[in-house]
Structure 1
Amino acid sequence: MSQYALEVRNFTKKIKSKTIVDKVSFAVEKGEIFGLLGPNGAGKTTIIRMIVSLINRTEGEVVINGHNLDTSFADAMSSLGAIVENPEFYKYMSGYKNLRHYARMAKNEISEERIAEVVKLVKLENAIHQKVRTYSLGMRQRLGVAQALLHNPAILILDEPTNGLDPQGIREFRDYLHELAATGISVLVSSHLLSEMQLMCHRFAIIEKGKLIHISSMDETVAEGVDEQREVAFEMDDASIALETLRSGVVAFEEVSLKEDMLTVKLSKSSIPAVNKLFVEKGLSVYGISAAKATLEDRFLELTNKKGEEAKR
């Protein structure tokens, strides 16, 4: 059996002379949350629609849990659960009756025990017998995930799943996906909300104008080398004296902001101990040092801007 829950190979989609998706390849490991990032119109939804066979591919292939979609369609699709648009249900029916309805359409029989299991998994036990029209958007999203999980797929695919959710709902949904991944289910999620994806995903790919321009783990992306500049804030008794002291030293820095008790400068990571030592030797009290970490947004803008500059040359 493949080590990957999903493999996308050389995905290409053309409409007449226009290339919408251009030779995109990536793989999702078992038990990980993998993000597809990119601005609206980058091609994320087109890629997802090709994976779940809602639209045809011009080129390429997809393998789901070891099953090639072209040669083993039924086996591949039975390993896949997806929510491509906002989940739609019969609002006059209860959440349970909706799940029971979908269960009857499944290829293999789905037991009452399995329905109860997924209801518990998405934390809808207290509302499952209420009519769907009484559900909040977040509850409908979780019911949609429960429906997608009924047949116990190897991978769950979600397209912009947090659209319309309030901050509390987004956090609850993110925490739920982490719990899901911990059980061994893989998740492929697309979004343009970079701050949320940084908290949600283990690895990600950036799609820009239909091309895959970057793929890495989240830890690799936000990590910085010792010589890279970052903002460092020093909490002091008198930040103005600290600034004069720093100007008289030999450490290269760039001033960012000065407040009564806080000096913020740009330094390399390797310079932070030397600056702290300088302050202490001059008799200055340092109450706190905080270094800003790179964000996914920083890296995303760096990569997409770089590609844009290269395209202009």
Structure 2
Amino acid sequence: MTKKALEVRSLTKKVKNKVIVDDVSFEVEKGEIFGLLGPNGAGKTTIIRMIVSLIGRTKGEVFVNGYNIDEQFKESMSEMGAIVENPEFYKYMSGYKNLKHYANMATREVTEERIKEVVKLVGLENAVHQKVKTYSLGMRQRLGVAQALLHNPSLLILDEPTNGLDPQGIREFRDYLRSLTKQGISVIVSSHLLSEMELMCDRFAIIEKGKLIHVSSINQLANQEQFVPTVQFEVDDVNKAFELLKEHQLTNDWKVEEGQQFSIKVDKETTADVNLLLVNNGIKVYSIHPITTTLEDRFLALTSKGEQGGKK
């Protein structure tokens, strides 16, 4: 049976009488980017801190590449590289000297060849001998990833890694992470940036108020039946179309767009029925196209459902 890159079982954190993380379980496959998604204060950083043993757990187990973190701590730590806060370096030293410093403290021997390898992997060959104080934020983030990869871990854990990066820096960082997974490295990323997680992750877990409320791949969530797509129609008479569709109870989430356009929530088959109904009643249909539901829309739908469930 293939070992998972990470297994988290019933992870719980209580501080006095307050539950910060409530019975969270998930798995990270080898070679995938797994996202922890949720608003600030949801418990993402606390989960990550427990995984990397920066804080204790009230309950739960963590397995890294098959190693139980309680029983095989050294082996577990050797399999992980992490950036939990913004990476900190000696700014008066070069990127290379900083990496050399961290290499001397690594749990595994880090050769000169390995340092060169990770520098190339994160694309800092031309800047590694410059002082860190000359680096952009994006370059410092990449140097942080290089530092976390020095001891050749199988799992990279990043907490809000794109904070402060401009759009170009975020795209470059996303590309670097994807290149890592091609080499078999698994990545777990926490973020509250919904659109970015949609582009970055293979699968994700939604965390809300310390609870895990949903786990799926981006594609699975997009295809779930509970999310009825929005379809936009362009016609010659919006008002007449509204009255006609109202008679047939087809004005679900009706919204008038620019000009002679309107949108409604209908599935694929009903879209065809609406088109036929409009045409048969003398309404010209100029165009029909679906409006892609974003991860943000689906996230809000799920979290609002979770809130309603909690109020019952």
After TM superposition, the score normalised by the length of structure 2 is 0.91
The alpha carbon displacement at 1:4 in A equals 0.6
Could you tell me which residue of structure 2 aligns to residue 302 of structure 1? 301
Could you tell me which residue of structure 2 aligns to residue 29 of structure 1? 29
Query: Structure 1 residues 307 and 266 mapped into 2: Cα distance closer, same or farther (>3 Å)?
Result: closer
State the one-letter code of the partner of 2:212.
L
Would you say the 8 A contact 1:122–1:176 is kept in 2? yes
Could you tell me which residue of structure 1 aligns to residue 177 of structure 2? 177
Could you tell me which residue of structure 2 aligns to residue 230 of structure 1? 229
Could you tell me which residue of structure 1 aligns to residue 192 of structure 2? 192
Query: Structure 1 residues 217 and 97 mapped into 2: Cα distance closer, same or farther (>3 Å)?
Result: same
Alignment of 1:124-139 (within 5 A): 124-139=124-139
Q: Which range is displaced more, 182-191 or 276-285?
A: 276-285
In structure 1, runs of 5+ residues without a counterpart are none
Would you say the 8 A contact 1:223–1:294 is kept in 2? no
Alignment of 1:214-253 (within 5 A): 214-225=214-225, 229-235=228-234, 238=236, 240=238, 243=241, 247=245, 252-253=250-251
Could you tell me which residue of structure 1 aligns to residue 19 of structure 2? 19
Q: Partners of 1:270 and 1:126 in 2: how far apart? A: 55
State the one-letter code of the partner of 1:136.
S
Q: Partners of 1:244 and 1:36 in 2: how far apart? A: 41
The alpha carbon displacement at 1:278 in A equals 5.2
State the one-letter code of the partner of 2:200.
M
Query: Structure 1 residues 125 and 261 mapped into 2: Cα distance closer, same or farther (>3 Å)?
Result: farther
The alpha carbon displacement at 1:46 in A equals 0.8
Would you say the 8 A contact 1:234–1:264 is kept in 2? yes
State the one-letter code of the partner of 2:251.
F
Would you say the 8 A contact 2:94–2:128 is kept in 1? yes
State the one-letter code of the partner of 2:181.
A
Alpha-carbon displacement from aligned partner over 1:66-94 (angstroms, at most 9, x marks no partner): 11111111111000000000000011111
Q: Partners of 1:16 and 1:178 in 2: how far apart? A: 40
Q: Partners of 1:95 and 1:309 in 2: how far apart? A: 50
The alpha carbon displacement at 1:234 in A equals 2.9
- Is structure 2 residue 86 aligned with structure 1 residue 86? yes
State the one-letter code of the partner of 2:79.
S
Alignment of 1:1-313 (within 5 A): 2-225=2-225, 229-235=228-234, 238=236, 240=238, 243=241, 247=245, 252-254=250-252, 255-260=254-259, 262-277=261-276, 284=284, 286=286, 288-313=287-312
What's the C-alpha RMSD, in Å, of the aligned pairs? 2.3
Alpha-carbon displacement from aligned partner over 1:238-281 (angstroms, at most 9, x marks no partner): 35488379649958234311433534333232222233445666
Would you say the 8 A contact 1:13–1:20 is kept in 2? yes
Q: Partners of 2:176 and 2:244 in 1: how far apart? A: 47
The alpha carbon displacement at 1:20 in A equals 1.4
The alpha carbon displacement at 1:40 in A equals 1.5
The alpha carbon displacement at 1:205 in A equals 1.2
After TM superposition, the score normalised by the length of structure 1 is 0.90
Q: Which range is displaced more, 248-257 or 94-103?
A: 248-257
Task: Please state whether the residue corresponding to 1:252 is helix, strand or coil.
Answer: coil
Query: Structure 1 residues 69 and 249 mapped into 2: Cα distance closer, same or farther (>3 Å)?
Result: same
Q: Partners of 1:299 and 1:55 in 2: how far apart? A: 32
State the one-letter code of the partner of 1:211.
K
Would you say the 8 A contact 1:257–1:265 is kept in 2? no
Q: Partners of 1:81 and 1:308 in 2: how far apart? A: 35
The alpha carbon displacement at 1:192 in A equals 1.1
Query: Structure 1 residues 132 and 264 mapped into 2: Cα distance closer, same or farther (>3 Å)?
Result: same
Would you say the 8 A contact 1:251–1:275 is kept in 2? no
Aligned length: 310
State the one-letter code of the partner of 1:128.
V
State the one-letter code of the partner of 2:259.
E
Alpha-carbon displacement from aligned partner over 1:97-128 (angstroms, at most 9, x marks no partner): 11111112122221222111111111111111
